[in-house]
Amino acid sequence: MKKQLVNYETMLKVTKAISHSKDPEEVVLLTVESIKYALDVKACALFLINRKTNELELAASFGLTDEYINKGPVSALRSIARSLEDGPVAIYDTADDPRLQYPDAAKKEGIASILSVPMVAGNHVTGAMRIYTSEHWEFTLDDVNFVQAMAQMAGMAVEMGRHYKGLKDSIELLKTMRDPKLLASNIRTPYEGVPVHVPHSEVGRRKSN
């Protein structure tokens, strides 16, 4: 029961952060940190898919060393790829699982087990959230459901942040377009291009003829 209460508190904490913050990076960092402490695991990380390179790019992590983070590009096609296609994937022993892209790096980092769940936003897989443990861990259904829920919230936070940034940029553009100084130089009048010495009344007669 205590663990469930901690999980609910974590979800409320992250939900509150999403509703108050317009910075997706801040929310994502808070999410991975909260999950790390809620599950009492070694580390948590969130990756976003780069569709151009088919790589998982690290968006935020908590508990991992710089050496492990910089171990090399993480392929969305090789690195526990089924978690992006079929749902959560749990690796009980990182030292003996062919799905792991960097088993030697995991061993050096002291990672024994990994849980990887897809991050979905708008019916599209946008990335993955991963849990790392220092001891072999048989992830329970509650663990998986909790991490999935948090991944969904993180995905929504990222999308909301992107939409907010797009909206903010659009508003700034509209403000620029409505700037009187710029409007003065861009307004076209019926007599634009007419020589100054030609009377407006004369122009009117020429147009009517």
Let me know if residue 175 belongs to a domain: no
**DSSP one-letter code for 178:** T
Let me know if residue 198 belongs to a domain: no
Let me know if residue 189 belongs to a domain: no
How would you classify residue 102: left for phi > 0, otherwise alpha for psi between -120 and 50, otherwise beta?
beta
Write down the pLDDT at residue 185.
Answer: 46
Let me know if residue 167 belongs to a domain: no
Write down the pLDDT at residue 183.
Answer: 43
| Average pLDDT score over residue span 15-43 | 79
Share of the chain above pLDDT 90, in %: 24
Write down the pLDDT at residue 17.
Answer: 65
pLDDT exceeds 80 at position 79: no
| Average pLDDT score over residue span 54-64 | 90
Let me know if residue 182 belongs to a domain: no
- Looking at mean pLDDT, say which of 67-71, 86-90, 117-121 comes out highest: 67-71
The count of domains in the chain is 1
Q: Look-up: residue for tokens 């990335």?
A: 127
Task: Report the 10 Å Cβ neighbour count for 179.
Answer: 12
**Phi, psi (degrees; rounded to nearest 5) at 73:** -65, 140
| Average pLDDT score over residue span 4-25 | 67
Distance CA 65, CA 67 (A): 5
Tell me which residue range forms the domain holding 21. 2-160
User: Please, which pLDDT band fits residue 182 given cuts at 50, 70 and 90?
Assistant: very low
Let me know if residue 82 belongs to a domain: yes
- The amino acid at residue 132 is Y
* CATH number of the domain where residue 72 is located: 3.30.450.40
Q: Which of 40-44, 84-88, 137-141 has the lowest mean pLDDT?
A: 84-88
Let me know if residue 196 belongs to a domain: no
| Average pLDDT score over residue span 29-46 | 88
Write down the pLDDT at residue 85.
Answer: 67
**Strand, coil or helix: 52:** coil
Let me know if residue 27 belongs to a domain: yes
Q: Which of 32-46, 105-119, 173-187 has the lowest mean pLDDT?
A: 173-187
Radius of gyration of the chain, Cα coordinates, nearest whole angstrom: 27
